[in-house]
Amino acid sequence: MKRRSLLPVSALLLAAALPFAVRAETHTIVIDGMKMTPQTLTVKAGDRIVWNNKDVVPHTATAKGVFDSGSIAVGKSWSHAAPKPGTYDYVCTFHPGMKATLVVK
């Protein structure tokens, strides 16, 4: 009895499913004028968020116990994958009046 390989069928099924695969998105938060824009950002767990510092001084993006960018220099950026679902308030530790919220679905 001759055996047939299932590999070609498996490859075909995988190729057909690829367009429907869930892909992480990338979102950008701009730091400028002593504020983070958008002030509230809603993303999906696993999405990547990029904080882009276009201000004239360094800043941080810090949600205590969840994420901490450290100092983001002028003209630089920092990225982080969205944590598990929840609402995360974060601040710039250098400028505590700079507050924003990350909502992860």
In a domain, 69, yes or no: yes
In a domain, 87, yes or no: yes
In a domain, 97, yes or no: yes
Long-range contacts of 61-68 (CB under 8 A, 24+ apart): 61/29, 61/31, 61/36, 61/90, 61/92, 61/100, 62/90, 62/91, 62/92, 62/93, 63/88, 63/89, 63/90, 63/102, 66/90, 68/93
**Which residues constitute the domain of residue 93?**
24-104
What is the pLDDT, as a whole number, of residue 74? 98
Query: Model-level pTM?
Result: 0.79
In a domain, 18, yes or no: no
Check which CATH number belongs to the domain holding 81 and give it: 2.60.40.420
In a domain, 56, yes or no: yes
How many domains would you assign to the chain? 1
Tell me the pLDDT tens digit for each residue of 42-68. 999 999 999 999 999 999 999 999 999
